[in-house]
């Protein structure tokens, strides 16, 4: 038996459900085909179970893409305030945590329930637990074949996300499908991911569990947040942020004393000559980290016994400590994917393929990646909305 729809959306994640509810509200008959038994799996685990569902500082410069202008249209037509209105309309309590990040007071489950309810009210249908065997196009309609039968529609939306966290079933399905229809894919890389250290930097791995407020940078990208030392290398929000800009072989830099003026060690030597260097470093840093840095700098004893030249060199190094990560923890630990279906293939207004009218791609499947902090969901909502308005 074949079921006909106006549009089939592949993937009941953040982008797919937003797209379905918007298209349904406009009277479209929409089917969401999802391989897992339940919708919104990544929403449920997001934000430590509280879903950092948007960021009030959303702006195009918070996104990484081969075409930085691509996000502008969709983001301007669906803002954090729009999503917040939806959240408040469902009586979901929320709070701003830090840096404009909005979280549920209760649980991420509330966001999933809200979206499922909205899709239902808009007349959308879920086909859950579906293994997609094939997708084809006969020149007029798309046909999706699953173990439950054949579904056809004039419009098909790829909303199956990226390959981050394969344990949850994430794959490169979106890219394979895009390529099947002749669309280019920008090489995907793990992003918002811990980085690993080896060799020279082994000493830092002894600091597993220690975190500190730093400025981390990779190339021109700079983030002031916490960095965390792990038994494999570096993590914490500052590192996750720079990981999206890092490429294998590059180094990253950490400013361990972001608030100190340029000559602070020399000033301290003048003012407190008998003070031990370790003690001074320990003033702004966790003790174990201060000890490792002093050891690496081969500095010990009172400040008055250390030559100005060495203190100047130490200041310089502490403000731009270079690490060359041996790698990242890969898609297994990456929150998102940089790269994906090339934006050059899509209309930024509708997310429709320029080559294949009727085929659309939204959310993480597309070569658009947000910073850490709710930006990735805002892209999912905004691109889903733009597409839903066009179906
Ligand atoms: P998403 O991955 O949500 O949905 C894709 C759907 O397609 C899934 O339901 C999947 O099962 C389905 N699917 C895949 N292949 C299929 C196939 N072959 N057939 C049928 N269905 C298929 N972002 C943020 O802004 N704030 C946050 O707090 C967090 N926190 C966070 C924590 C963790 C641990 C991770 C891994 C990620 C985050 N993120 C985040 C990122 C965020 O989860 C991500 O950007 C969005 O979920 C992307 O939404 P999509 O709808 O594009 O994909």
CB proximity list for 25: less than 8 A, separation 6 or greater: 122, 388
3-state secondary structure the chain: CEEEEEEEEECCCHHHHHHHHHHHHCCCCEEEECCCCCCCHHHHHHHHHCCEEEECCCCHHHEECCCCCCCHHHHHHCCHHHHHHHHHHCCCCEEECCCCEEEECCCCHHHHHHHHHHHHHCCCEEECCCCEEEEEECCCCEEEEECCEEEEEEEEEECCCCCCCHHHCCCCHHHHHHHHCCCCEEEEEEECCCEECCHHHHHHHCCCCCEEEEEEEECCEEEEEEEEECCCEEECHHHHHHHCCCCCCCCEEEECCCCCCCCHHHHHHHHCCCCEHHHHHHHHCCHHHHHHHHHHHCCCCEHHHCCHHHHHHHHHHHHCEEECCCEECCCCCCCEEEEEECHHHECCCCCEECCCCCEEECHHHECCEECCCCHHHHHHHHHHHHHHCCC
- Kindly give the distance from the C-alpha atom of residue 161 to the centroid of ligand 1, in angstroms, as a whole number: 5
Choose the residue to mutate in 13, 57, 177 for probing ligand 1, maximizing ligand atoms within 8 Å of C-beta.
13
Q: Say if residue 252 is in the same domain as residue 345.
A: no
- Kindly give the distance from the C-alpha atom of residue 43 to the centroid of ligand 1, in angstroms, as a whole number: 7
Residues with CB under 6 A from ligand 1: 10-16, 33-36, 41-42, 45-47, 51-52, 132, 159-161, 164-165, 169, 171, 173, 335-336, 363-365, 374-377, 380
Tally of domains within the chain: 2
Q: Looking at residues 323-350, what average pLDDT do you find?
A: 97
The protein residue with its alpha carbon nearest to ligand 1, atom 48, reads: 364
Taking the CA of residue 334 as reference, the ligand 1 atom at the shortest distance is: 36
CB proximity list for 47: less than 8 A, separation 6 or greater: 53, 103, 104, 108, 374
pLDDT greater than 70 at residue 146: yes
- Kindly give the distance from the C-alpha atom of residue 353 to the centroid of ligand 1, in angstroms, as a whole number: 21
Q: Say if residue 128 is in the same domain as residue 219.
A: no
- Kindly give the distance from the C-alpha atom of residue 3 to the centroid of ligand 1, in angstroms, as a whole number: 27
158 closest CA partner among 347, 378, 341, 377: 341
State the CATH number of the domain containing residue 44.
3.50.50.60
pLDDT greater than 90 at residue 1: no
What percent of the chain lies above the pLDDT cut of 70? 100
Q: How far is CA 41 from CA 121, 316, 389, in A?
A: 21, 45, 25
Burial 305-339 (b: 16+ CB within 10 A, else e): ebeeeebeebbeebbebebebeebbebebbbbbbb
Q: Say if residue 156 is in the same domain as residue 210.
A: no
188 closest CA partner among 197, 179, 201: 179
d(CA 48, CA 108): 9
- Kindly give the distance from the C-alpha atom of residue 13 to the centroid of ligand 1, in angstroms, as a whole number: 6
Count other C-beta atoms under 10 Å from residue 180's C-beta: 12
Taking the CA of residue 383 as reference, the ligand 1 atom at the shortest distance is: 52
Q: Say if residue 203 is in the same domain as residue 75.
A: no
- Kindly give the distance from the C-alpha atom of residue 297 to the centroid of ligand 1, in angstroms, as a whole number: 43
Q: Say if residue 202 is in the same domain as residue 146.
A: no
Taking the CA of residue 363 as reference, the ligand 1 atom at the shortest distance is: 52
Q: Say if residue 183 is in the same domain as residue 204.
A: no
Residue located via tokens 């190339």: 219
Q: Say if residue 358 is in the same domain as residue 316.
A: no
Domain boundary at 328, 346, 374, which?
A: 328
Q: Say if residue 76 is in the same domain as residue 141.
A: yes
pLDDT at 205: 79
359 closest CA partner among 71, 158, 127, 138: 158
pLDDT tens digit string along 270-318? 999 999 999 999 998 999 999 999 999 999 999 999 999 999 999 999 9
pLDDT at 173: 98
Q: Say if residue 276 is in the same domain as residue 244.
A: yes
Choose the residue to mutate in 12, 17, 41, 46 for probing ligand 1, maximizing ligand atoms within 8 Å of C-beta.
46
The protein residue with its alpha carbon nearest to ligand 1, atom 45, reads: 376
- Kindly give the distance from the C-alpha atom of residue 46 to the centroid of ligand 1, in angstroms, as a whole number: 9
Q: Say if residue 312 is in the same domain as residue 366.
A: no
Quote the domain boundaries for residue 148: 2-190+337-390
pLDDT tens digit string along 195-240? 999 987 877 878 999 999 999 999 999 999 999 999 999 999 999 9
The protein residue with its alpha carbon nearest to ligand 1, atom 29, reads: 46
Q: Looking at residues 56-72, what average pLDDT do you find?
A: 98
pLDDT tens digit string along 237-282? 999 999 999 999 999 999 999 999 989 999 999 999 999 999 999 9
d(CA 385, CA 198): 44
Taking the CA of residue 39 as reference, the ligand 1 atom at the shortest distance is: 9
State the CATH number of the domain containing residue 288.
2.40.30.10
pLDDT at 204: 84
Q: Say if residue 288 is in the same domain as residue 164.
A: no
Q: Say if residue 234 is in the same domain as residue 319.
A: yes
């Amino acid at each position: 038996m074949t079921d006909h729809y106006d549009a089939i959306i592949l993937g009941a994640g953040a982008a797919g459900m937003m797209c379905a509810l918007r298209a349904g509200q406009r009277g479209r008959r929409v089917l969401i085909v999802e391989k897992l038994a339940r919708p919104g799996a990544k929403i449920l685990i997001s934000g430590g179970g509280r879903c950092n569902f948007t960021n009030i500082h959303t702006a195009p410069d918070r996104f990484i893409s081969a075409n930085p202008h691509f996000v502008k249209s969709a983001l301007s037509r669906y803002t954090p305030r729009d999503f917040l209105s939806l959240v408040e309309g469902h009586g979901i309590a929320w709070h701003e945590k830090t840096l404009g990040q909005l979280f549920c007071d209760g649980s991420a489950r509330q966001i999933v329930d809200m979206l499922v309810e909205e899709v239902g009210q808009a007349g959308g249908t879920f086909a859950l637990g579906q293994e997609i065997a094939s997708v084809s196009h006969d020149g007029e309609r798309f046909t999706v074949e699953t173990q439950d039968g054949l579904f056809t529609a004039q419009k098909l939306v790829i909303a199956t996300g990226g390959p981050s966290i394969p344990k949850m079933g994430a794959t490169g399905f979106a890219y394979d499908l895009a390529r099947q229809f002749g669309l280019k894919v920008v090489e995907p890389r793990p992003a918002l991911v811990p980085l690993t250290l080896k060799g020279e930097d082994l000493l830092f791995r002894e600091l597993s569990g220690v975190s500190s407020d730093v400025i981390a940078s990779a190339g021109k990208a700079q983030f002031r947040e916490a960095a965390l030392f792990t038994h494999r290398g570096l993590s914490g929000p500052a590192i996750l942020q720079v990981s999206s800009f890092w490429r294998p072989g590059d180094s990253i830099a950490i400013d361990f004393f972001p608030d100190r003026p340029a000559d602070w060690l020399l000033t301290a030597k003048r003012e407190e000559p008998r003070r031990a260097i370790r003690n001074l470093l320990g003033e702004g840093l966790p003790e174990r980290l201060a000890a490792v840095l002093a050891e690496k700098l081969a500095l010990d004893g009172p400040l008055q016994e250390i030559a100005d030249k060495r203190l100047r060199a130490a200041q310089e190094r502490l403000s731009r400590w270079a690490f060359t990560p041996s790698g990242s923890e890969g898609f297994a630990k990456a929150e998102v994917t940089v790269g994906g279906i090339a934006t050059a293939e899509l209309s930024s207004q509708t997310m429709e393929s320029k080559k294949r009218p009727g085929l659309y791609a939204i959310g993480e499947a597309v070569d658009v990646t947000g910073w850490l902090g709710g930006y990735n969901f805002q892209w999912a909502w905004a691109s889903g909305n733009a597409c839903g308005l066009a179906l």
